[in-house]
Structure 1
């Protein structure tokens, strides 16, 4: 097999040197998790985050009485980087125009990596390893308004999420919502038919804040089910993500890539594409990235279930 170490400096590959930084920047913009959670420095072996799980307790004492002795309690969470990658094959026509190649890379790769990262964080299964935190196990809060009881509306659901997170020891400081959630919010009206999110209606279709906290949108949060998951709310100061080196970009026009399987006779065999033979090249993007949270009680899963 031909070598696969062709990179940005290889003669004939017209790829601007700044593309890797640009893709990393755009991935952060596309990922709701990366915008909401706290970024930390993450070395290759990972890190252990110490957590204060309980504070010492003070008490009143009478004059000359002994003062109480109390101690804090501690815990920890491990966060390990895992590799997230994608290979995109192109025809050689892209090689003719540096701008076309650059724009195509920027358009495709950041969104693919960001969506997969977000969808994995918001799921309850499919983690790349045991030290990758997932929020899918958070308690659910229904946002679908009741058909007849106006007190059981979407606004009450938002307040419920806020209150339950506070009761769990957190402070709700951000919302990650799908487009479906935005549609639900924009459709909510009071008893006179006026939109509850009047400011957003006047300014356009955006819902930039809810209960004073910022909103970020990602399709990675959407999960079909009964009911559907349409968003998450949480204390994002207690959630952490990190990357070892950012996004790494590699290009090859002589390697062979395996693209699924094909049926040959009665057998399933790897579908191997020789890039050189087909006048193609491939762009590989990968990142070593991790996510972890302090306490699942500080997060709530938002669904489109009807409020009971």
Structure 2
């Protein structure tokens, strides 16, 4: 009898592609979840700010009433373009439609990730009138005296005239909170894991967990960054037209120095872009949270 089986030499079985798609979980922008959204024209906008209110005072009978003026200022916000292009072959879309659709769905989130990374950690802004939280004062939450460290952050923002109303912790920062316990070793920020499902608030203010809030230690930094806290009512962002998505199979794309004529190669490209700006009223209304780890000499 001939020995013909699936492992016989010369037999090649085509691989099937699963409907299951594995990939890292993507997150929406933590900054956009906490900051206020404003209308932002393409030329930018100037926002009037009240920096101090008129002060009333007690007056004795027949005495002159006090005269006090409010103080005002303004803040300019300029949008900058954030974009990415991804290329595909027509055959890829035809033969692996599930994977193509997942990649296309995830593409706009690349903008959200870059926006957060810029606001949190960039040393240079995209241009003028774009604020960076990297410049906020730094305080440490290192896993020892965690509650006191968090109160110190709240107090620092209050002393600057702000009211802490939101936290952003990286997963590593969240682990510090989960490890915090009282004198009887009970979790400090979680009374019932099964019922609560996780830490949603810290000191009464909402908590957003985002990988983009983390940054490893680097030369010239304050150490390893694990999160941010602040008065998010004094932070605003705006987009000109929202996220725009465009597809082309006729263009020529410059990909790492190689010119790709899409029509000639039976390819197409997806382009996603957004014009976006970010500003805070007072950088001292925010705190950059470090872990106390400093590995760079």
After TM superposition, is the score higher than 0.5? yes
- 1:53-73 per-position Cα deviation (integer Å, ceiling 9, x unaligned): 111122222211111111011
Matches of 2:142 and 2:108, distance apart in 1: 32
- Cα pair distance change 1:271/1:205, threshold 3 Å: farther
| Distance across 1 between alignment mates of 2:155 and 2:231 | 12
> Which residue number corresponds to residue 56 of structure 1?
54
Cα distance, 1:204 vs structure 2: 6.5
Match of 2:45 among 44, 47, 53: 47
Residue of structure 2 in register with 1:5 after alignment:
none
Give 1:123 deviation, angstroms: 2.4
Separation (CA, whole Å) in 2 of partners of 1:79 and 1:92: 41
Q: Distance in 1 between matches of 2:192 and 2:263?
A: 52
Pairing 1:274–2:295 present: no
Partner of 1:74: 72
Query: Relative contact order: is structure 1 or structure 2 higher (C-alpha 8 Å, sep ≥ 6)?
Result: 1
Contact residue 115 and residue 218 of structure 1 kept, 8 A: no
Per the alignment, residue 121 of structure 1 pairs with 119
What is the CA distance between 1:212 and its match in structure 2?
Answer: 1.3
Moved segments of 4+, more than 4 Å: 97-100
| Alignment length (residue pairs) | 263
Partner of 1:233 in structure 2?
229
1:185 corresponding residue in structure 2: 177
TM-score scaled by structure 1? 0.80
| More deviation, 200-209/45-54 | 200-209
Distance 1:200 1:172, change over 3 A: farther
**Which runs of no fewer than 5 residues in structure 1 stay unpaired?**
1-26, 147-152, 261-269
| Distance in 1, Cα, partners of 2:232 & 2:176 | 23
The answer for the alignment partner of 1:160 in structure 2 is 152
Matches within 5 A, 1:105-144: 105-107=104-106, 109-144=107-142
Alignment check: 8 A CA contact 2:143 2:176 kept: no
Deviation at 1:280, TM superposition (A): 2.2
* Gap change, CA 1:62 and 1:161, over 3 Å in 2: same
Q: Indicate if the aligned counterparts of 2:190 and 2:199 stay in contact, CA closer than 8 A.
A: no
Q: CA deviation at 1:200?
A: 5.9
Partners of 2:190 and 2:196 within 8 A in 1: no
Give the drift of 1:135: 1.0
**Matched residue, 2:101:** 102
CA contact (8 A) 1:141 1:302 kept: yes
Is 1:194 aligned to 2:186, yes or no? Answer: yes
Segment drifting more, 29-38 vs 189-198: 189-198
Distance in 1 between residues matched to 2:258 and 2:197, nearest whole Å: 45
Task: Give distance in 2, aligned partners of 1:205 and 1:185.
Answer: 14
Q: Superposition RMSD on alpha carbons, in Å?
A: 2.0
Partner of 1:199, secondary structure, is coil
Q: Structure 1 residues 248, 124: closer, same or farther in 2, change over 3 A?
A: closer
Mapped partners of 1:62, 1:52: distance in 2:
30
8 Å CA contact 1:165, 1:300 repeated in 2: yes
Q: How does 1:168-183 map to 2 (within 5 A)?
A: 168-183=160-175
Per mean C-alpha deviation after superposition, the further-off stretch among 137-146 and 186-195 is 186-195
Distance 1:200 1:40, change over 3 A: farther
Q: Which has the larger radius of gyration?
A: 2
